Amino acid sequence: MRLRSSTGRQTWGSSAWGDSVEWERLAEHLKKQITGEVKVQEPLKNYTSWRIGGPADLLVVPGTLEDLRVCLSFARDHGVPLTVLGNGSNVLVLDGGIRGLVVKTAGGLSGIRVQGERVTAEAGAMLPVLVNTVIRYGLTGLEFAAGIPGTVGGAVVMNAGAEGQSISEVVEEVTVLRTDGEFVSLGKKDLTFGYRHSSLQEHPVTVAAVVMGLRPGNIQEITDRVRRLLEVRRKRQPLNRPNAGSVFTNPGPQAAGYLIEKVGAKGLTRGRAQVSSVHANFIVNMGGATAADVLDLIEEVRERVRREFGISLKTEIKVLGEGLSTGS
């Protein structure tokens, strides 16, 4: 998920950002400074759980936290817009793609360190991997996250949760990277959390690592609890089709999925996107869906719920990038 983005059309050197030759030169320049991968005009549908999204001008998968710092400084120094993604599991990237530099933490910044009951995870560490790791150490408190296909960084920014719990309950410290290239540690008292929200969304910082405080527990009991939660998830969610998790936040006592089902939108399609027949708060890619298909479906669902219940559903997903140009 995006942690930070700067906007506005600028230039690098003497050519517009859209000049592929300049992007190739920029990529070669960046490759000399980092250990991670650098790709030009890379389709982001290959990096999102919805399997939707146009190209990034530049895509970087940093190998180290220093790579991350270099990428942010590089974007700032060259006047290039920056977007940071986790695992792409809670975002809709538009069909025109994302301009500038996209940094994807998943696949690179995945380090996890366990010291007693304190666990430090880099921003790109996947939540299911983190859960499996702490289980081996007999630590409890993260079982709810076993089925969330996101990264630690994205989870903290969005205060991800399930089964009535959220990651804010275990967060002790967050290391962020400021726009000036400095790493800063924020304690629990420096942060505020709410339903699918954290104060990190309101500041131009990028999450680098998270320290969590867990509790000792019985390994077999923790394992059994995770197994039960995953089995419930398999029954309730459309895991056989690409999706981005819950599309709408729950507006109150009545869940968004319940409202959507009540207005007859379950199974509704637009293009190759469909409101899941398994869980109405999921939109699935039936194969070849575009971001435009998903947006049309979101608006149709919103309008039906608004007309029937007078409730305006808010999206939980983040929309990034730009649509395809329709002009001549």
Per annotation, catalytic residue among 42, 122, 143, 316: 316
Instruction: Check residue 45 and report its DSSP letter.
Output: G
Long-range contacts formed by 106-109: CB under 8 A, 24+ apart = 106/61, 106/151, 107/61, 108/36, 108/37, 108/61, 108/62, 108/63, 108/64, 108/67, 109/62, 109/63, 109/64, 109/65, 109/68, 109/153, 109/208
Query: Are 247 and 237 in contact, with CB atoms under 8 Å apart?
Result: no
Residue 199 appears among annotated catalytic residues: no
- Distance CA(123)–CA(154), nearest Å, equals 7
Residue 246 appears among annotated catalytic residues: yes
Provide the sign of the torsion angle of the four alpha carbons 252, 255, 129, 225, taken in this order. positive
Residue 316 appears among annotated catalytic residues: yes
**C-alpha angle 75-107-186 in degrees, rounded to nearest 5:** 65
In sequence order, the β-bridge partners of residue 211 are 120, 173
How many beta carbons lie within 10 A of that of residue 190, not counting itself?
13
Span between the terminal Cα atoms of the chain, in Å: 32
> Could you write out the DSSP letters of every residue in 300-315?
HHHHHHHHHH-----B
Per annotation, catalytic residue among 51, 99, 196, 302: 196
Query: Are 321 and 55 in contact, with CB atoms under 8 Å apart?
Result: no
61-99 in b/e burial notation, b at 16+ Cβ within 10 A?
bbbebebbbbbbebbeebebbbbbbbbbbbbbbbbebbb
Per annotation, catalytic residue among 89, 246, 276, 304: 246
Report, as residue numbers or ranges, the catalytic residues. 196, 246, 316
